[in-house]
A and B are shown apart, each in its own frame.
Chain A
């Protein structure tokens, strides 16, 4: 018998089980599609980042004085050029000013403005703009007053490509929206807060205009530079660090390399961790598909037993006998691969669209990821074949005499389920039927349970990840605003004595009921080999307005530091233990970092690792006394937050003033992207669970045709027979859901405990799954498993009872 003979025969098998083959192929396709599609988007995103950084000539090195200090533009640029040595290429001086901004047609959107003044007299060669709408700025705009608006902010508020934005009280016309390599990440931290795209407005303008707006004529505070090819960035950076104190002796400067920049790194890390997570999701779904394929092949082999027995009795070699079921598995595999390539392409295109619109990047390269698709195709091929191997192997090893026996006389049919079958059950035989069916075919039941469970697990894990993130943000917000109502967080453009008129104007404002001043600086906590970057808020630690809940009541000893629980855990330190605090120390017209041993006075349960508090009383440690740069304001009763915000942000010296609640909202906006992705995940997983349940029901219905016919011969109606199937399917579904919830929780713990901390060490996201997520997972599982059996109702209704009840199978 040639291959053609077997092919023809399996072609008939295929036609008889077309729906099931398509069902399993679809599961495999979606699993491998998610793998290939999301894998592709990860590659594309990484390539897009690389391309954007190189295509827009991102700076290699950034040199800047300590925050709040300015150097005349030409002097700054000249000092950097002189200090950089031969490796230093192009360099441009900028003035980056933090100024309060109001956007929108009626100026209704408050934001923290980062206004970047660029020298337009020469063509911009570093950190160039990619215009997304409107026009760019050129040499002709050097003396003008037109600006460009960051695409992220424009998009977050649906702002038009041109319009007016009020910067520190002055209306400025913007002529286009742009993306710029330094500001591709929208997430920044300040003090105990995180800012997202909606509250930070990056604005690019001619340096002259920014100098006027910031009241810093002729000044600059930032140099971006490129390193000539052939020179190492590290070498040029260390040359700069060595020489700058000579070329610019009065001001302490920091030299930062973009490749070490945590924000740039996080852009890449985020992609890697998402890819890891989605790979696991895809593999779970593929494993589920494998179990479903196992069930189908088993049924096919079971129904071919008689043929197999005859073939064996006729002396056909086992290898040839195995052909028929193997060909079917290959057909499932090939269909899975074909559909998988389509699904992968579809998932890739669709996710790319979401990502391109939600996380815009200036330059995109989206080449076909052949290697990735090959790997996905290999998985799609291997899984159904692996799922089929065991049933086929068993079938060809059976004794021909046993294979030839009619099913009810086969000895081995119910082996291994004896224990389960002897369990006494309450109710009538019909009521017991669903449970009996599950226990009589324990392998198939188990495969179905595992398939449904593994497919549902990613859903719960995904929903749980969102819940955990939301819970984290809420915890952060609670910590920020304490138990009081909303408060206005104010950041000053520079360090000021608390008695300065700018400061008094804030705290003495007739709109303000209560206020607290503070000093915010960056620093590091060191212990052993671990270094944790922190944002130190120096406030009155006995004032509950600015002190996290639970700390205000404690007596914090002078010189102690309050750190976040995540930092304490990473550093391995507890209350009373010592850490080395590397903090700025005022010296001359700048700062230098010094190390001070500080005991941990308290640990706050903040999800943000970078949160740290000290008492304002300890300021002398930083070489300062009575110096502040932040204020927390509570409006008088009857004064709205918006009124207070408008009033305060129009004051000179204010970098930004934002309600604490607005900051929390913007982080939630970031999560909306993810939520959008997960809705589709819900739909896809619902479909997959349905397909698995359908496959299992179909297998069960085929296997039990004789029993169903007998029931109907005794007058049991089709709805009742379907109901048994529904109950059986739902029982399996419930067990599958149990597995799904268990595995889902494990995956969530893995994501939040392993993948996430590696990618975003600054955040401590604790697993927390909302009731609604459990409900969604359970409902999707139940609906899918309960509805699948109704699909076979037609088949039951049209069953030919006499032929089914006849002697032969």
Chain B
């Protein structure tokens, strides 16, 4: 049992001894090994680590897309590891929301409809108006009727972010959200995410780009399935405009 001597705000994400093993015909892969993590609300957390270190696995555990082999996960007061299958679906509707590296927009829906989906699924009443506002927030107010394949990669990612934001869920999970994007667009996306923490959302961003970690409140370093450190970046978070890559 880990004690928390510093009486800060209650953590919104809390992992204790989380282990994830994958059984493959070639043997067992330990993707995550006894990971402990505590994240406070309204923070921008950047998860860093080399390829295969378990970043995506960690994010999927927090978002209940996958279940740990061992350990417990608590998100926004819900013990994810104890939830039933249908409660997990409810958890994904109300508590967390994903931004994927592959965007995963619905190809047959327009930008507006993709965002509306996010608003509707989490139970918003005036989903259509909310969706328009969200798209305006990501500066796509003039692209609402476009289909995903008619948008650039950065625009698609902004639609994906708007879709996630439209859910209004407190925890945003982004796996390599800038991986596909050029520098300028990448910065734009990161600023958007940073702004969300000002609205009280907790944002977890996975990346292997160390530069991005400079703007984080907390940097979680992963190596070979182990959390090797979890601390603010040296010198404190900088503004997105100061990033270089």
Give A contacts to B, CB under 8 Å: 406-411, 413-414, 421, 428-430, 432-433, 436-437, 439-440, 706-707, 709-710, 712-717, 801-802, 805-807
Sample of 6 further A-B pairs with CB below 8 A, known A436-B108, A802-B56, A805-B65: A410-B149, A428-B116, A712-B89, A712-B92, A715-B89, A805-B104
Interface-facing stretch out of B11-19, B94-102, B236-244 = B94-102
Q: Are A429 and B93 in contact (CB under 8 A)?
A: no
Chain A to chain B contacts (Cβ below 8 Å), 7 pairs: A408-B156, A414-B108, A430-B117, A706-B102, A715-B122, A716-B93, A806-B102
Check if A408 sits within 8 Å of B120, measured CB to CB. Answer: no
**Which residues on A sit within 8 Å (CB–CB) of B105?**
408
User: Chain A: which residue is nearest B148 at the CB level?
Assistant: A408
Report the 3 A-B pairs with minimum CB-CB distance, sorted nearest first.
A715-B93, A715-B92, A440-B108
Q: Given contacts A440-B107, A716-B121, are A429 and B149 in contact (CB under 8 A)? A: no
Q: Please give, as numbers and ranges, the residues of chain B lying within 8 Å of A716 by CB-CB distance.
A: 89, 93, 121
Q: State the interface size on chain B (CB cutoff 8 A).
A: 40
The distance in angstroms between the C-alpha atoms of A408 and B65, with both chains bound, is 22
Closest to A808 in B: B102
C-alpha spacing A706/B106, complex, angstroms: 9
Q: Bound complex: CA of A806 vs CA of B66, how far in Å?
A: 13
Q: Which chain B residues border A421 with CB–CB below 8 Å?
A: 108, 147
Min CB–CB distance A616 → chain B (angstroms):
77
Whole-angstrom CA separation of A437 from B109 in the bound complex: 10
For the complex, give the distance between the alpha carbons of A35 and B106 in Å. 44
Nearest B-chain residue to A715, judged by Cβ? B93
B90 at the interface (CB under 8 A from A): yes
**Is B102 touching A406 in the complex (CB atoms < 8 A)?**
yes
Bound: A429/B153 CA distance, A: 23
Contact status A409-B149, CB under 8 Å? yes
Q: Complex: how many Å from CA A805 to CA B97?
A: 14
Across-interface contacts of B117 in A (CB, < 8 A): 429-430, 714
Which residues of A are found within 8 Å of B57, using beta-carbon distances?
802
- In the bound complex, residues from chain A placing their C-beta under 8 Å from that of B167 are 714
**Chain A residues in 8 Å Cβ range of B168:** none
Least CB distance from A444 to B in Å reads 13
A715-B90 contact, Cβ under 8 Å, with A413-B149, A428-B127, A429-B120: yes
Max chain B Cβ within 10 angstroms of own Cβ: one of A428, A714, A801: A714
8 Å CB interface, B128-177 against A = 147-149, 153, 156, 167
Tell me the nearest residue of chain A to B86, going by C-beta: A717
B104, A710: Cβ atoms under 8 Å? yes
Residues of chain A with a CB closer than 8 A to B149's CB: 408-411, 413-414
**Shortest Cβ distance from A220 into chain B, in angstroms?**
84
State the CA gap A802–B63 with chains docked (Å). Answer: 10
A684 nearest CB across to chain B (Å): 35
CA distance A408 to B180 in the complex (A): 13
For A706, what are the chain B residues with a Cβ–Cβ distance below 8 Å?
102, 104
Question: With A and B bound together, what is the CA distance between A432 and B114 in angstroms?
Answer: 12
Question: Quick check: B156 and A429 within 8 Å, CB to CB?
Answer: no
CB <8 Å contact, B108 and A437: yes
Contact assessment for A414 and B121 in the assembled complex, using a CB-CB cutoff below 8 Å: no
Return the contact of A805 from the options B102, B109, B116 (Cβ within 8 A). Answer: B102
Would you give the shortest CB distance from A79 to chain B, in whole angstroms?
Answer: 88
For A710, what are the chain B residues with a Cβ–Cβ distance below 8 Å? 100, 104, 106
- The residues of B that contact A802 with a CB separation of less than 8 Å are 56-57, 60, 65-66
The chain B residue with its CB closest to the CB of A425 is B113
Chain B residues at the A interface, C-beta cutoff of 8 Å: 56-57, 60, 63, 65-66, 86, 89-94, 97-98, 100-109, 113-114, 116-118, 120-122, 127, 147-149, 153, 156, 167
Residues of B contacting A406 with CB < 8 Å? 102
Contacts of A410 in B (CB 8 A): 149
* Complex Cα spacing A408 to B101, Å: 12
User: Please, which residues of chain A bring their CB within 8 A of the CB of B102?
Assistant: 406, 408, 706, 805-807
Question: How far apart sit A805 and B107, CA to CA, in the bound complex (Å)?
Answer: 14
Contacts of A717 in B (CB 8 A): 86, 89
What's the Cα separation between A802 and B57 when bound, in Å? Answer: 8
A413, B107: Cβ atoms closer than 8 Å: yes
Hey, which chain B residues are within 8 Å of A414, CB to CB? Answer: 107-108, 147, 149
Q: In the complex, what distance in Å separates the CA atom of A807 from the CA atom of B103?
A: 9
Which of A432, A436, A715 is the one whose CB lies under 8 Å from B121?
A715
Neighbour of B116 across the interface among A407, A429, A713, A714, CB < 8 A: A429
Q: Which residues of A contact B148 (CB under 8 A)?
A: 408
Q: How far is A707 from B148 in the complex, measured between Cα atoms in Å?
A: 13
Residues from chain B with a CB closer than 8 A to the CB of A429 are: 106, 109, 113-114, 116-117, 120
- Whole-angstrom CA separation of A433 from B97 in the bound complex: 21
Which of the listed residues B60, B117, B147 has the most CB atoms from chain A within 10 Å of its own CB? B117
A428 to B104 alpha-carbon distance, docked (Å): 19
Per the bound structure, the CA–CA distance linking A368 and B101 in Å amounts to 62
Whether A428 pairs with B93 at a CB distance below 8 angstroms is no
Chain A residues near B156: list those with CB within 8 A.
Answer: 408
Q: Are A714 and B65 in contact (CB under 8 A)?
A: no
Knowing A406-B102, A411-B149, the reply to whether A714 touches B107 (Cβ < 8 A) is no
CB distance from A727 to the nearest CB of B (A): 15
Closest to B97 in A: A714
Shortest Cβ distance from residue B90 to the other chain A in the assembled complex, whole angstroms: 6
Complex-state Cα separation, A436 to B102, whole angstroms: 22
CA distance A421 to B146 in the complex (A): 11
Indicate if the CB atoms of A713 and B127 lie closer than 8 Å. no
Tell me, in angstroms, the Cα distance from A604 to B65 when the chains sit together: 76
Contact across chains for B100 and A714 when beta carbons are under 8 A apart: no
Bound Cα distance A407, B104 (Å): 10
Q: Which residues of A lie under 8 Å from residue B56 when comparing CB positions? A: 802, 806
Complex alpha-carbon distance, A706 and B147, angstroms: 17
Q: Which residue of A lies closest to B145 (CB)?
A: A422
Closest chain B residue to A407 by CB distance?
A: B107
A336 to B97 Cα, complex, angstroms: 47
What is the CB-to-nearest-CB distance from B10 to chain A, in angstroms, rounded to a whole number?
24
Q: Tell me how far the C-beta of B156 lies from the nearest C-beta in chain A, rounded to whole angstroms.
A: 7
Distance (whole angstroms) from the CB of A92 to the closest CB of chain B: 81
By a CB distance below 8 angstroms, the chain B residues around A806 are 56, 102
Find chain A residues with CB under 8 A from B121 CB: 430, 714-716
Is there an interface contact between B106 and A714, defined as CB atoms closer than 8 Å? no
Interchain CB contact under 8 A, A714 and B93: yes
CB-based contact B101/A713 at 8 Å: no
Which chain A residues border B94 with CB–CB below 8 Å? 715
Residue ID in chain A nearest B121 by CB atoms: A714
Q: Name the distance in Å between B167's Cβ and chain A's nearest Cβ.
A: 7
Complex: how many Å from CA A801 to CA B102? 13
The answer to whether A715 and B104 have CB atoms under 8 Å apart is: no
CB distance from A708 to the nearest CB of B (A): 10
* B100 proximity list for chain A (CB < 8 A): 710, 713, 805
**Chain A residues with CB below 8 A from B127, complex form:** 428
Query: Among B120, B127, B167, which residue has the most Cβ atoms of chain A within 10 A?
Result: B120
| Complex CA distance for A407 and B92, rounded to whole angstroms | 26
Chain A: minimal CB distance from B69 (Å): 14
Question: How near does chain B come to A433, taking the closest CB pair, in angstroms?
Answer: 8
A408 touches B108 (CB 8 A): no
